[in-house]
């Protein structure tokens, strides 16, 4: 008689096994439950294994794309990464963190990355454009030589926006050639700068704008960095206009509260150029300088180095648009067919929420402003005026000669006695700055060499 798996069981063990079998026969659902439970455990184990398995980028092809990026720059230390994301957060840091987490790139260095411009600390961007190589949905095993069409590719916009903070959004993407550069293929960059009129003469400011237009040497309207070895300070301003901002209602808030925007279009810009241009434009608007001051500062023979004047605020400045020839932007995953909730609509809802939040804050401050405007102020003749009337009566330069200088973004500075820009101390010329930089660099190199020599002698 052949042995079975029950041969070695005791009588008690056999009885216990029979009881289990009888229970399963009387309630077959338990058997199914045990089977389902086992299958669920197996599924979870497979998921854990897949999660722990390293992602293989080599399974996919790559393609070069351009991304149109919008950001509110108020809480960032500029656009370009400083390689210290925790201490010095930038827009670029957040973008690449999202790109890497989405497994679209491995790192910045291997992505053939380029950006259209690097905005300063606090400056925002609506039309920033970057280009880089990203993972495609197309597998390496796919024999087709063609790139995937937009509606078959990864939903780049939605994927990235889910990973980005609320003050950064990808608006669109476009396929580009492998040699495309977001910096060098840009044909025009447009900035906007917003400001309240206050007591400024808009017509004089518009006249000053005409002197900026065209090709000029802008060394007196930028911050020089001799380490960059800039060879030419000539830039071309295609147009510079001042217009009222649409869709803002400030009637009754106070005198001079209506908003205007400077729209400035050029081929390229120097470091801090727009903010220095706005600073002089405000001086013209306040009547502290004539419009021709712009023409004089652009005359390098007459004014070979920059006089000492401050930059305008970063808060109202926006990189509004970057122009390229031949790019076909995709704004939603399914641009070619109906989508009940397209990417562009989700982006619109996001900014509608942001706008509502900021408008509520604005209206709150506006109520405070309106209330304080009615507070009484005693005049020299003992008469009473409201704060609003007192503000309207004050001139740019007080009777004591103190000048209030507008810097934009609600900021002002006061000078006990206004000194015209052309009479102020001058910075070093470009040549002198570069010469001093070379001397400092040589001195530093000599110190390092001397230190190395001392260390070698101490070891010998």
pLDDT for 274 equals 97
Q: Which residue has the tokens 């008469």?
A: 383
Strand, helix or coil for residue 388: helix
Our measurement of the distance from residue 125's CA atom to the centroid of its chain's CA atoms, rounded to an integer in Å, reads: 5
CA distances from 197 to 56, 255, 428 (A): 57, 9, 34
Strand pairing category for 124-139 and 317-323:
parallel
| The residue count for the chain | 460
Query: Which tokens go with 51?
Result: 């999660």
What are the structural domains of the chain? 60-184 (3.30.70.580), 186-316+375-441 (3.30.70.660)
Q: How far apart are the C-alpha atoms of 141 and 154, rounded to whole Å?
A: 17
Residues 6+ apart with CB under 8 A from 16: none
Query: Which tokens go with 401?
Result: 């000669």
pLDDT for 90 equals 97
Contact between residue 265 and residue 225 where contact means Cβ atoms under 8 Å apart:
no
Our measurement of the distance from residue 175's CA atom to the centroid of its chain's CA atoms, rounded to an integer in Å, reads: 22
Q: Which residue has the tokens 């609600």?
A: 410
pLDDT for 187 equals 95
pLDDT for 354 equals 95
The four Cα atoms 7, 12, 18, 20 give a dihedral, to 10 degrees, of -120
Contact between residue 279 and residue 404 where contact means Cβ atoms under 8 Å apart:
no
Q: Which of 291, 283, 348, 278 lies closest to 318 in space, CA to CA?
A: 278
Q: How far apart are the C-alpha atoms of 341 and 416, rounded to whole Å?
A: 59
Q: How far apart are the C-alpha atoms of 156 and 143, rounded to whole Å?
A: 23
Q: How many other C-beta atoms lie within 10 A of the C-beta of residue 260?
A: 18
Residue 120 falls in the annotated catalytic set: yes
pLDDT for 31 equals 53
Q: How far apart are the C-alpha atoms of 234 and 215, rounded to whole Å?
A: 7
Q: How many other C-beta atoms lie within 10 A of the C-beta of residue 123?
A: 28
Residues 6+ apart with CB under 8 A from 395: 199
Q: How far apart are the C-alpha atoms of 27 and 236, rounded to whole Å?
A: 86
Given 56, 107, 120, 179, which residue is catalytic? 120
Q: How far apart are the C-alpha atoms of 3 and 214, rounded to whole Å?
A: 103
Q: What predicted TM-score, i.e. pTM, was given to this entire model?
A: 0.84
Which residues of the chain register pLDDT less than 50? 1
CA distances from 403 to 399, 411, 416, 418 (A): 10, 14, 6, 6
- Maximum C-alpha span of the chain: 128
């Amino acid at each position: 008689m052949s042995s079975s798996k029950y041969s070695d069981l005791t009588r008690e063990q056999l009885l216990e096994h029979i009881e289990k079998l009888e229970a399963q026969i009387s309630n077959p659902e338990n058997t199914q439950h045990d089977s389902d439970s086992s299958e669920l455990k197996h599924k979870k184990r497979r998921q854990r294994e897949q999660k722990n398995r390293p992602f293989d980028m080599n399974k996919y092809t790559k393609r070069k794309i351009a991304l149109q990026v919008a950001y509110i720059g108020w809480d960032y230390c500029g656009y370009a990464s400083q390689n210290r994301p925790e201490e010095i957060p930038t827009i670029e840091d957040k973008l690449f963190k999202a790109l890497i987490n989405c497994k679209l790139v491995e790192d910045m260095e291997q992505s053939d990355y380029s950006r259209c411009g690097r905005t300063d600390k606090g400056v925002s961007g609506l039309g920033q454009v970057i280009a880089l190589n990203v993972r495609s949905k197309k597998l390496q095993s796919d024999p087709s030589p063609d790139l995937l069409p937009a509606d078959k590719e990864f939903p780049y916009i939605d994927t990235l926006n889910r990973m980005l903070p609320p003050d950064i959004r990808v608006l669109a993407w476009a396929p580009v050639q492998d040699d495309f550069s977001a910096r060098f293929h840009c044909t025009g960059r447009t900035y906007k700068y917003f400001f309240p009129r206050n007591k400024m003469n808009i017509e004089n400011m518009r006249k000053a704008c005409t002197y900026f237009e065209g090709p000029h040497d802008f060394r007196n309207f930028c911050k020089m960095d001799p380490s960059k070895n800039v060879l030419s300070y000539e830039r071309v301003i295609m147009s510079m206009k001042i217009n009222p901002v649409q869709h803002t209602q400030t009637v009754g808030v106070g005198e001079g509260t209506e908003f205007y925007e400077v729209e400035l279009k050029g081929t390229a810009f120097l470091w801090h150029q727009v903010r220095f241009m706005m600073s002089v434009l405000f001086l013209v608007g306040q009547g502290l300088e004539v419009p021709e001051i712009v023409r004089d500062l652009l005359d390098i023979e007459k004014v070979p180095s920059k006089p000492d004047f401050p930059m305008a605020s970063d808060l109202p400045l926006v990189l509004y648009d970057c122009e390229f020839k031949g790019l076909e932007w995709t704004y939603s995953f399914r641009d070619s067919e109906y989508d009940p909730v397209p990417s562009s609509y989700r982006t619109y809802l996001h900014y509608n929420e942001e706008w509502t939040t900021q408008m509520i804050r604005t209206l709150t401050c506006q109520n405070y402003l309106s209330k304080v405007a009615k507070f009484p102020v005693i005049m020299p003749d003992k008469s009473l005026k409201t704060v609003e009337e007192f503000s309207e009566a004050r001139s740019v330069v007080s009777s004591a000669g103190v000048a209030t200088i507008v810097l934009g973004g609600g900021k002002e500075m006061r000078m006990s006695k206004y000194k015209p820009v052309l009479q102020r101390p001058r910075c070093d010329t470009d040549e002198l700055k570069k010469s001093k930089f070379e001397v400092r660099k040589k001195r530093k190199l000599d110190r390092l060499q001397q230190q190395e020599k001392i260390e070698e002698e101490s070891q010998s």
